[in-house]
Structure 1
């Protein structure tokens, strides 16, 4: 019987370790799962402290013979509760993020329809500082070419929010058919080629 509970405790402990690793994905959704980073990011010290506290508490209760339960049975119960807590915490964070993304997607779709109506599509992006040019003439002409295609670009800075980037995709999906209808297929390549040509001409001057 003791061997049975020992094996069960080991199985649950392995599941706790796995849950502690994979909660990285659920808590940080929609960030792509990276196994090595998840291992490094996992709160191993905190988890170890919690397991040690549960083990000590189980030993105390085992010595007291609470309801004739021994250490292994009590420790198993605590481990199962810890596993349930980790799963619940991860799932709760995942569900909340999904709901927030869904809410922001609806807002982006509504904004996209309004921008299409005004013929003023704005492509927001993040992940780096905006390039600064000393030539104001080039900046103005670049903006002019982009406006000709019915768009402008807005840099949100270097802070990347994965959930916001995920929701923003709905904006792009909504305006894409409109821009293709307005500017023709491969319009972005044509626009970029036009901007590049303009820059070369102005640099050579």
Structure 2
């Protein structure tokens, strides 16, 4: 029985850590699977703290008299049950956050498409960019050339601020 419980604990812990790290990957839409970078982004120390806390709680519960199990088997049984619950929570929250992110990206893409269609209809394209950096200083002739191209082809620039929103970036890539 002990070997089965040890195997079950190892399996659940591997599943938990994989789901936690992969959940961060899915939520952020970063399918470039760089394990080291994902571990840094996921702040895995919080999950390690939760597992350590669960181990402490499991040990405390294993000291209680439950059936005719010895303390080690009770610990392993309680540990796998609580970690399974944590796994379920992490998986649920990852899927929920992914769905919220997808909905926000779809809404932003829809708004960008409407704005792009409106710009095309008005024959005046507005290029939106996140920035805040100063325009490079050119000589007067170059500046006049750039302005004449903008006027001729109906292009204007609009700075959206210095904060880069990943959802907006994904939506802008769509168009």
TM bucket normalised to smaller: 0.7 to 0.9
Pair 1:157–1:136, CA change in 2 (3 A): farther
3-state SS in 2 of match to 1:154: strand
- 1:26-67 per-residue CA deviation (whole Å, 9 max, x = no partner) reads 232267543321022222221111111111111111211356
| Secondary structure, aligned partner of 2:157 | strand
Q: 5+ residue gaps in structure 1? A: 173-205
The equivalent of 1:10 in structure 2 is 10
Please identify, of 118-127 and 51-60, the stretch whose mean Cα deviation from structure 2 is larger.
118-127
Q: Say whether residues 1:129 and 2:152 are aligned partners.
A: no
Work out the CA distance in 2 between the residues paired with 1:2 and 1:133: 73
TM-score normalized with structure 1 length: 0.72
| Alignment partner, residue 84 of structure 1 | 88
Which residue matches 1:197? none
CA shift for structure 1 position 93: 1.3
Q: Deviations over 1:60-117 (max 9, x none)?
A: 1121135667111111011111111111121111111100011111111111121112
Correspondence 1:1-205 to 2 at 5 A: 1-29=1-29, 32-66=32-66, 70-126=74-130, 129-156=133-160, 159-170=163-174, 172=175
Does the 8 Å contact 2:127/2:156 carry over to 1? yes
The count of aligned residue pairs is 171
Quote the Cα distance in structure 2 between the aligned partners of 1:138 and 1:26: 45
Please identify which structure carries the higher helix content.
Answer: 1
Once superposed, what is the RMSD of the aligned Cα atoms?
A: 2.4
Structure 2 residue ranges without an equivalent (≥5): none
Higher relative contact order (CA 8 A, sep 6+): 2
Residues 162 and 100 of structure 1, relative CA distance in 2, 3 Å threshold? same
